[in-house]
C-alpha cells in the first residue's frame, strides 16, 4: 500500500510496495502522467520478459508534482537475464546516456547495483 504524502508532497522515506492498479490509480491522474505510465508499462513488460520481478521508482513522478517529465527507476537484478535485455531491450542497459533511454518510455533507469 502506498502511504499518504507528507506536508511537502513527498512519500515518506522507505520502500513502499503496491500492485499495479494501485500505482496507476494513485499516480496516473492526468494525461501527462498517464502517458508516462504507458511508457513505464512498456519498460516493465520488457524487464518482466527478462525475468525481473521488482522495479523501484523514485523522483518527481512519485510526488504530488502535477507534470513530471519522466520517471526514475531501478530494478532488482537478481533474476534478470541480461543477455535477453542486450538482445531485445538494449535501451534499458544504457545507464550512462539517460537521454538515450527515454525514447518511447520516458524512462531514466539507473544501474541496478545502485540499490
CB 26 within 8 A of CB 11: no
pTM exceeds cut of 0.95 = no
pLDDT at 110: 78
Any domain includes 33: yes
Which of 30-33's residues contact partners 24+ apart within 8 Å by CB, and which partners?
30/66, 30/67, 32/66, 32/67, 32/68, 33/61, 33/66, 33/67, 33/68
Which residue do the cell numbers 523514485 mark? 58
Any domain includes 58: yes
- Residue 81 lies in domain: 20-114
Percent of the chain with pLDDT over 70: 87
pLDDT at 97: 65
Any domain includes 13: no
pLDDT at 101: 59
Any domain includes 108: yes
pLDDT at 105: 58
> In tens digits, what is the pLDDT along the chain, a chain of 115 residues?
999 999 999 999 999 999 999 999 999 999 999 999 998 999 999 999 999 999 999 999 999 999 998 888 889 889 999 999 999 998 888 877 666 655 555 667 777 764 4
Q: How many domains does the chain have?
A: 1
Q: What gap in Å lies between CA 12 and CA 66, rounded to an integer?
A: 18
User: How many residues can be counted in the chain?
Assistant: 115
Amino acid at each position: 500500500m502506498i502511504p499518504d504524502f507528507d506536508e511537502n508532497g513527498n512519500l515518506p522515506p522507505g520502500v513502499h510496495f503496491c500492485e499495479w492498479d494501485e500505482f496507476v490509480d494513485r499516480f496516473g491522474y492526468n494525461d501527462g502522467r498517464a502517458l508516462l505510465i504507458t511508457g513505464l508499462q512498456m519498460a516493465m513488460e520488457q524487464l518482466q520478459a527478462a525475468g525481473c520481478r521488482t522495479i523501484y521508482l523514485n523522483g518527481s513522478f512519485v510526488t504530488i508534482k502535477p507534470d513530471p517529465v519522466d520517471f526514475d527507476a531501478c530494478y532488482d537484478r537478481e533474476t534478470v537475464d541480461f543477455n535477453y535485455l542486450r538482445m531485445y531491450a538494449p535501451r534499458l542497459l544504457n545507464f550512462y546516456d539517460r537521454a538515450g533511454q527515454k525514447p518511447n518510455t520516458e524512462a531514466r533507469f539507473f544501474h541496478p547495483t545502485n540499490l
